[in-house]
Chain A
């Protein structure tokens, strides 16, 4: 559960919890070109959101959850 890390891709599961934030940050620091796959994701904890906002990795696949994607667009806009 949480996030599945491939070589250069982090695949977010349905719900990414607060515990995953630290791992995500570490991974992004080690893999600056790592991409994020949000397709299956329906909610990420605010801590993960903050990591994504600060690191601004490439989003390989947007979330299929329209509501989440709408919010992510707002968050990752700038």
Chain B
């Protein structure tokens, strides 16, 4: 999942929360326009955000909500309870969608219908309260929604499909494929929305037949090429879910009908002939049919077909007969009907439920499921009056009955629940009775329920259950009996019906309660689902940074406390002489050390942020500034996913903005100048972040005019930053580095962008504050490269402990180049300064005691060697003489606060494992 989507999801949850809250507040103060405006804003933003992604279901609902809120805001629609309910419903739906996206990364098309229904319900509210107004849009809305509503009863036979198409559909249906007819009427304005309905239709898989019509009857001269009046009709054997997926952007413009009645497709067509040549054939065929000789009938039909002209109606009928003989052998009535039709040229298809295909469809699609269930229920009484259950089904019925008993036997403690409980039980039992055709029991059930409700007790229902429970249990035997009575021929037919209808009936019972509720109020409820899901789904946690800081401090202390263990082990051995204990402490220390390090690592991870956090503001900034300056700049961002500690990232923001501004203002030239210099008119500014071991490297590279060292030198001299001798001696690189000097500015005019002389100096100190370094490289005429190097995390600092004048100090390891022992006799004095030659290079030496203003000589070891710490400061190696080196430790560096905060020679202090305080030096400031 990409970062943008993640952010969208997390933000959307916040918005949904906000919308919910505002709606609640509005309940109390329905006239508060401020809430209203805010609510609109939330919905509006959420809609806009969702539009960035490919979630049409979500956007559709939000768009409708937005329109509704807009009407409310403008006072065209009054705020009402139903409106709030509908909006909350919509938001619950959106939240379900968000859960789904979070879980799977995408949105399945199962929500298309619900989304369209919700959007319609929302839009209906805009219209409802607005009926009196003369708004044209409303009228159109009403019209279009109405058109969809009263869709005419669909009948395949009216489509007049070509014979081949009908036959193929019939074949598909018979072999168990679903066959779907769809009608797609694109919006007349759709060409302006970038839609291509024809392209969309061409994407439909498994197309069997199509008809494309246009209702455009205007004279050619007046025809508008961009007024879409097309209607597409398609018959396909594709999966309904695929079609929903395909048309998910325009669900309101498509109508799907699933063709279930294969027999409807049988429609022979062709010329009518008057010759009575078929009489003999029909007679013969009927005889064969009566004898159940399908093979004979097939041969006879084929022969007859060869003799007739293919264009005749009768030939068509014969072709159908052949097809049916092949696919639906047992359907004698249908065969006979087709033969009969040869006399009359009109086919009356005997009404036979094609149960098999019904059931297949049922498994495939839920919406059809409901319809079929209702059909099945209506049909049941006429089809059969006794019920046959398999053992499994019987067990299920028993389970249902049993659980109803349990419910009824529950102690009656809360009257408020009793009524509902009784009704629910009665409803379930009613479903059972209907499914199993226990009509007598059914009649008494209502009475029992009424009694129970009147008495506020479950007794009457229990009595009823006792009376009839035997009926439910004895069904298995009945099955056997009925099966024996029926004739063999009927058995096959019956079994098919029973097999298919039992599961349907049972499902009907189970879902009875739900369906009935749905019938009463056709709204879709998401509340429960969304509540269930949100508990599990929300994976991101927003935490106050203070808490994380506190956690980090605690871990820091933990590290310190842990570091005390080796001291303890040491004491156990040396002071108390218990070597065993010492070893055990050390072993235990190893474990604690591992856990502590892992903890520290984890908390670091928590604090990590991608640099894109600051990078994302650059495109806009660069665009604005370059416009202002009349420059053309192409900004390239690289390595946005590089991560660093939050503090580092935040500390980086201002310096980076400064640098980018500088590059735009001083670095890149105007298009004319660039063209004259033979460069492309558009300047390139590259901002790149990368990770180098434990540091983040950020480079800002432009291909501008670069920095001219001579100009810098002169400016610096003018401003008194360097003296005359330096001016002559200074190298080009050093001159370029002068831009970091305090008070330096090359710009003659102070603009609102830069030129106040605080620029790069501020950048440097800001970067150094977080232990970073900044450098610059430039080639006149070619461009400038600025680079910042920052630690990944500033929480743990690795320091080297040194000793000087009987005190210990820490020096950050990242500044230490090496440690050497310089013999006394190799120290030379140049003027008043001590120096030595190290690998052929002169290194100035400074005594730490001098630096700290302690009037004590450094102590050398027995061999008259001085411990020298070579540190790198501002790109130069400097030796610091100390008394001795100690080990290196990881410490949590705490910056100095209060009065001590002014001591820039120290970067902070830390606690050591033995409880002593370690002062950490800041050699940069010291020297």
Contacts and interface: CB of A to CB of B under 8 A. Distances in A.
A19 to B, nearest CB: 10
Interface string A1-32: 00000000000000000100110110011000
Among A24, A28, A75, max chain B CB count under 10 A is at A75
A18 B695 CA distance: 54
A44 B220 contact: no
B216 A45 contact: no
B165 to A, nearest CB: 10
Interface in B189-217: 191, 195-199, 201-202, 209-214, 216
A68 B199 CA distance: 10
A73 to B, nearest CB: 9
A50 B225 contact: yes
A58 interface: no
Interface in B391-425: none
Interface residues of A, number: 25
Contacts of A71: 198, 201-202, 210, 212
B536 to A, nearest CB: 45
A54 B219 CA distance: 9
B193 to A, nearest CB: 11
Given A18-B191, A67-B202, A49 B212 contact: yes
B198 A45 contact: yes
A51 interface: yes
A20 to B, nearest CB: 9
Contacts of B209: 74
Contacts of B223: 25, 51, 54
B221 A50 contact: no
Among A28, A46, A55, max chain B CB count under 10 A is at A46
A47 interface: yes
B214 A46 contact: no
A43 B211 contact: no
Contacts of B225: 21-22, 24-25, 47, 50-51
Nearest to B209: A74
A54 B227 CA distance: 12
B196 A45 contact: yes
B229 interface: yes
A53 interface: yes
B221 A46 contact: no
Contacts, number: 71
B406 to A, nearest CB: 61
Contacts of A77: 211
Contacts of A18: 191, 196, 226
Given A71-B202, A78-B213, A50 B196 contact: no
B229 A50 contact: yes
A53 B198 contact: no
B226 A22 contact: yes
B456 to A, nearest CB: 66
Among B209, B212, B216, max chain A CB count under 10 A is at B212
Given A25-B223, A29-B220, A51-B225, A46 B199 contact: yes
A43 B199 contact: yes
Contacts of B210: 71, 74
A46 B213 CA distance: 12
B816 interface: no
A28 B220 CA distance: 9
Given A18-B196, A25-B225, A47 B220 contact: no
A49 B230 contact: yes
Among B196, B198, B216, B226, max chain A CB count under 10 A is at B198
B226 A74 contact: no
B186 interface: yes
Contacts of A28: 220
A67 to B, nearest CB: 7
B197 A29 contact: no
A22 B226 CA distance: 8
Contacts of B229: 50
A46 B191 contact: yes
Contact of B202 (A22, A43, A54): A43
A21 B226 contact: yes
A46 B211 contact: no
B228 interface: yes
Contact of A55 (B186, B213, B220): B220
Nearest to A73: B210
A74 B216 CA distance: 17
Given A18-B196, A29-B220, A54-B220, A47 B226 contact: yes
A4 to B, nearest CB: 18
A53 B225 CA distance: 11
A49 B232 CA distance: 12
A46 B226 contact: no
Contacts of B197: 46
Among A22, A47, A50, max chain B CB count under 10 A is at A50
A45 B199 contact: yes
A74 B210 CA distance: 6
A75 B212 contact: yes
A39 to B, nearest CB: 18
Contacts of B199: 43, 45-46
Given A46-B195, A71-B198, A74-B211, 14 more contacts: A18-B226, A21-B225, A21-B226, A22-B226, A25-B223, A29-B220, A46-B196, A47-B225, A50-B225, A50-B230, A53-B213, A55-B220, A71-B210, A74-B212
User: Which 8 A-B pairs give the minimum distances between C-beta atoms?
Assistant: A46-B198, A75-B212, A21-B225, A25-B225, A74-B210, A46-B197, A22-B225, A53-B214
14 contacts: A18-B226, A25-B223, A46-B191, A46-B199, A46-B228, A46-B230, A49-B198, A49-B212, A50-B228, A50-B230, A67-B202, A68-B202, A71-B202, A78-B213
